[in-house]
Amino acid sequence: MHYLEGMLSTLDPAVRESVKIISYFDALVSEGVGVDALLRAAALLSGCPAGAITRSESGGRRVDIGGIASSTQVHADSGWASKNISGEDGVVWIERAGPAHVNDEMILERLGLAIQITCERTVRRRPRPALEVLVDAFATREEKESMVSVLGMRPTETGRVVASPALARPASDGKRSVVLPTDVGLLRVALYRGQELEGQAGIGIESLALELATSWRTAIIALKLTTPARPVVNAAELGVLLQLGRLEPDDADVVALEQVNEISAWAVPTLEALAEGGSVRAASLILHRHPSTVHARLDSLSTTLGFDVRTPQGRLRATIAVTLLRMKSASF
């Protein structure tokens, strides 16, 4: 599939997106995730709520664009774009207002196929992976309590999870690792036991076994803040920076920085070097640039952003903007 994606890299964007959709659902099916996770994937890919009715569901399931799953009585004749699930006497749909998007049909096709496979597994009594349930913020306490022992944990025990790109080598055995859809793409979640991590990874904060959804949320924030120079970020070391994950990423400072960085790719690295070094001279050493060059860059950034990035308050403001921009632009 990755070879095919490379072959199609010069073709129409819609074709490339179709291949990505296929890869997305194939990865989730291979991990054996549940119907709710598949619906969340469809909602993320389409940007609108998604639902499904199958023989095994009473009424059906629906996930809104915020990822919240619920039962529903919506039927195929409700006017939404839909597709029958082969062999399931069921249907999947996406609730888009207005004209259909070019890849809606592909999303529905792959969603229907993925749910068909998942339902067949359910008939063979293959439940959702335990880790998927434990990091699901919308799973019930009863569902989680039934899965804790599968991972060799106790409800009163604490643990951490690690987030990494889906194609990364699992950080633990298969039972303790699963690929899930998120707002930044497919990510692999695994239990973290202090093992050595390879490549990009975000380590979540320590949480009770029944509250691993919190560790998963913070692990994703940590992963978003990884850089080539810092491929592994531990959320426990971020402190108050974790709260930035709750802020609006389209703040005026973030938008301005995003625009200037698109024109001058040195903008973000320069501000990061200034924050790390604390002075223009130290930043110039980090960047391997002459101090006069760094001075000129900071003058330009101060003018464009509307505040002096060299003052203590300006450095803090710029650092927050850089952090939010990394979270906003992260994609895996």
d(C-alpha 115, C-alpha 63), whole Å: 14
Give the CATH number of domain 2-123; options: 1.20.120, 3.30.110, 3.30.450, 3.40.1000.
3.30.450
- Per-residue pLDDT tens digits of the chain, which is 332 residues long: 444 445 445 455 666 777 788 888 988 888 888 888 999 999 999 999 999 988 766 568 889 888 888 887 665 556 788 888 876 678 899 999 888 888 899 999 999 988 888 877 765 555 678 899 999 988 889 989 989 988 888 989 999 999 998 876 666 554 578 888 888 888 889 999 888 888 899 999 999 999 999 999 999 999 999 988 899 999 999 988 888 887 777 788 999 999 999 999 999 999 999 999 989 999 999 999 999 999 999 999 999 999 999 999 999 999 999 999 998 888 87
**Helices 13-31 & 104-123, crossing angle to 10 degrees?**
10
- CA–CA distance from 127 to each of 35, 114, 176, 254, 280 (Å)? 11, 15, 14, 43, 57
Give the model's pLDDT for residue 55.
72
pLDDT for res 161 = 95
Every domain of the chain and the residues it spans = 2-123, 130-245, 248-329
296 CB-near residues (< 8 Å, 6+ apart): none
In the prediction, which pLDDT does 59 show?
65
Nearest C-alpha neighbor of 151 from the set 193, 184, 203, 106: 193
Does the pTM exceed 0.75?
no
The pLDDT value given to residue 56: 63
Q: Which residue, 262, 33, 18, is CA-closest to 127? A: 33
CATH number for the region 248-329 comes to 1.10.10.2840
The DSSP secondary-structure symbol of 278 reads S
